[in-house]
Every structure is written in structure tokens, then in C-alpha cells.
Structure 1
Amino acid sequence: MVNDAAFRSSLACLAVVLVIVGIWTQSFKKVVATYIFGMFAIGGVILPDWEFFDRSVSQWCTPLAVGPHHLRSPPNQSTSSNRFRFYPIRLGIYTIVYGYSFYRWWMYVSS
């Protein structure tokens, strides 16, 4: 993983959300559902191989050519600046999937 600090801070935020949901709902099942939803959300945004998905959606089914420049980046070069390129189709897919998942989670927790 390129940025372990982002992963750690995401897990810390998830822990805070779990405590809030636990206090608000006093339901262990809803805390577990929140944990599962949160881990999938964190895993879907932080953990994917962005070199593979940071291409046009039409290229996702083709293999990624790995050359010597992919094996190791220089220590002075920051890869986070190129991490999130704007692709409208990818943004649409993420918005639909995460929007629907968040809606279903919210309906479960708020009931």
C-alpha cells in the first residue's frame, strides 16, 4: 500500500463511527453491519491496485504491461498526486455502488 497513514486514519474514523452507531442504536447487529459496510467502503477506495484501475474503463479487461518503471518508484517521487485521475465512467460507477450501499446501510441503521 502506498499510504499506510490513510488506511490507519480510515480505520480510526470507522472505529469512531462504530462507537457512535453503538451508542445511538444500542444494537450489536447494527454495529456489525456498520463494520462490514465500512470495511468494504475502505477496501474499495484505499486498497485497489490503482495502477490497474487508473486507466480508461474500456482498458480494464486488458492486462497491465509491467515494466521496470512500475516495479519501484524513486523515493522523491510522490505517487499520490497521480492517484485519482478524473474518469467520468469510473466516477459514475463508484457513485452508484457506494450511493446505493450507503442508502441501504442508512435504512438498516435508522430503522
Structure 2
Amino acid sequence: MGNDAALKTSLLWLAAIIVVVGLSTHSPRKMLVTYIVGVLAIAGVLLPDWDYFNRHFSRWPYPVTADERASLPHHGSAFLRFASSPLRVIAYSAIYGYAIYKWWDYVSDDS
């Protein structure tokens, strides 16, 4: 992963959210679920090698060559590389939206 600052910032925000969930619900189980969902969400966005997946899908079974890596466009931030594919943004929005909805439904339940 090229940008460790984004990972550190995301994990700090996740820790803050876990503390808020713990203080408001007094439930270690809900804090653990928040931690697991948060780490999976962060990993889903920050860990994939986008240079690998930004190639034509027929090349995915093969390693990225030095020539391919040199020819791939490099943007200033990882977010700009992520946002270059509208289908990827739509898929992530749907998956993450549903996951956040289910997480909120679980955390806000009184039982």
C-alpha cells in the first residue's frame, strides 16, 4: 500500500467511532462488530492493488509487467485513481451502503 497516512487516519477514525459506540451502547459485542465491519471496510478500499485491476480484465491472470506499470496513468491521490471507474464507485456505494445500514440497524437495536 502506497499511502500509509490514509490507513492511519482511517484507523484513528474507526477507533473514535468504536469509543462512541461503546459509550452509547455499553456493549462490548457491538464494539467488536463495529471494529470488524470498520476494518473490513477500510481494507476493501485501501488494500487492493488498483494498478493491477486498472488493466484490461483479460490481463488479470498475469502479473503486472514493468512496462504495464510504467504506462498506467498515475494520479496525485489514491481517491482519484479509485474514482476513475464509475462502475467501481457504484458497486462500492451499493455494498458499503448496505453494510452500513445493517451495522446501524444492529448497533441501534436496544436488545
| Regions of 4+ moved over 6 Å | none
Question: Are 2:61 and 1:93 equivalent residues in the alignment?
Answer: no
Q: Residue by residue, what CA displacement relative to the aligned partner does 1:46-105 show, whole Å, maximum 9, x if unpaired?
A: 11111122346xx2773355222538xxxxx86526522422211111111101100000
Question: Are 2:28 and 1:31 equivalent residues in the alignment?
Answer: no
Question: Residues 94 and 55 (structure 1 numbering): CA distance in 2 closer, same or farther, change over 3 Å?
Answer: farther
Question: Are 2:50 and 1:80 equivalent residues in the alignment?
Answer: no
Structure 2 gaps, min length 5: none
Structure 1 gaps, min length 5: 72-76
Task: Work out the percentage of aligned pairs sharing the same amino acid.
Answer: 44
SS in 2 for 1:48: coil
Aligned to 1:109: 107
Question: Residues 83 and 64 (structure 1 numbering): CA distance in 2 closer, same or farther, change over 3 Å?
Answer: farther
1:53 and 1:60 in contact (8 A); partners too: no
Question: Residues 25 and 48 (structure 1 numbering): CA distance in 2 closer, same or farther, change over 3 Å?
Answer: same
2:82 and 2:89 in contact (8 A); partners too: no
Question: Residues 19 and 84 (structure 1 numbering): CA distance in 2 closer, same or farther, change over 3 Å?
Answer: same
1:52 and 1:60 in contact (8 A); partners too: no
2:75 and 2:81 in contact (8 A); partners too: no
The alignment's C-alpha RMSD in Å is 2.4
Aligned to 1:67: 65
Higher relative contact order (CA 8 A, sep 6+): 1
Number of residue equivalences: 104
| TM-score, L = length of structure 2 | 0.80
Distance in 2 (CA, whole Å) between partners of 1:32 and 1:60 is 39
